[in-house]
Amino acid sequence: MSENDGIISAVEEFVKGVVRGYDSGHGWSHIERVVRLSLHILDTENRGDRLTVELGALLHDVGDHKFGAMDGPAEIRRVLGGLRVDENVINEVVSINENISFSKGESGSVKSDELMTVQDADRLDAMGAIGIARAFNYGGYKGREIYDPRAGFAAPGNLGAGRVTVSATVNHFYEKLLLLKDLMNTPTGKKLAEERHIFMVKYLEQFYREWDPGER
């Protein structure tokens, strides 16, 4: 086992403990998928540092405000510092953790290759069939309605500015999920997002037909 393998194994065990308190859509399976997607994008684009990307993907949800008050950056520095990870790598992993979230918005500042890679992977996991499953899982976890027709929504392809609210799950598609395709950073991320976006639009079309057959 290489030194990096030992670091990854130790970080995996730490993250498994952290996400045990999250809903299943943000749990260990989500982390594994984001790691796999991140490494796929990295290998396809051939840009960025592999250790930084893998650690960034593993640790991207540490301190997620939806699940508690843990100080993500401080915990990352503590764990990676204890494993004697290079300070430059630690700083970049912390930057990924601090800047990956959709709710933070697009700052306009230049993103590193590593942040662009992990951010695309995380956003891809919020799209398509898995993204739909995760959205309804989190809505159930928070006790939200499946759909609130009184709230209104924009038509697919004519979406307004994204905003994060506590609305019903289907309405959340228009606040976030359907906006992600146009926020991808890398060519690989954009290509993968196209298929997942189309699937979500088709799902919503079917959802509305079933919700009220007389209206559509």
Give the CATH number, domain containing residue 142. Answer: 1.20.58.1910
Domain shared by 97 and 189, yes or no: no
In the three-class reduction of DSSP (H, G, I as helix; E, B as strand; rest coil), residue 183 is classed as helix
Residue-wise pLDDT tens digits, 122-147: 999 999 999 999 999 999 998 989 99
Q: How many domains does the chain have?
A: 2
Confidence of residue 157 (pLDDT cuts 50, 70, 90): very low
Question: Mean pLDDT over all residues of the chain?
Answer: 88
Confidence of residue 21 (pLDDT cuts 50, 70, 90): confident
Domain shared by 99 and 130, yes or no: no
Cα separations in angstroms, 171 against 55, 89, 136, 147, 179? 33, 38, 11, 7, 12
The pLDDT assigned to 152 comes to: 59
Backbone angles phi and psi of 89, in degrees to 5: -65, -45
Domain shared by 88 and 186, yes or no: no
> What is the rounded average pLDDT of the residues 148-173?
61
Domain shared by 151 and 190, yes or no: yes
Domain shared by 4 and 88, yes or no: yes
The pLDDT assigned to 83 comes to: 97
Cβ atoms of 162 and 123 closer than 8 Å: no
Residue 111 lies in a domain: no
Angle, CA 134 vertex, CA 5 and CA 42 arms, to 5°: 35
> What is the rounded average pLDDT of the residues 91-112?
82
What is the domain range of residue 50? 1-103
Query: How much of the chain exceeds pLDDT 70, in percent?
Result: 88
The pLDDT assigned to 161 comes to: 39
Of residues 131, 118, 141, the one with CA closest to residue 195: 131
The pLDDT assigned to 126 comes to: 97
Confidence of residue 52 (pLDDT cuts 50, 70, 90): very high
Q: Which of 31-35, 77-81, 173-177, 190-194 comes out lowest in average pLDDT?
A: 173-177
Of residues 167, 164, 159, 169, the one with CA closest to residue 197: 159
How many CB atoms within 10 Å of residue 109?
6
Domain shared by 2 and 98, yes or no: yes
Query: Residue 4 sits in a domain of what CATH number?
Result: 1.10.472.50
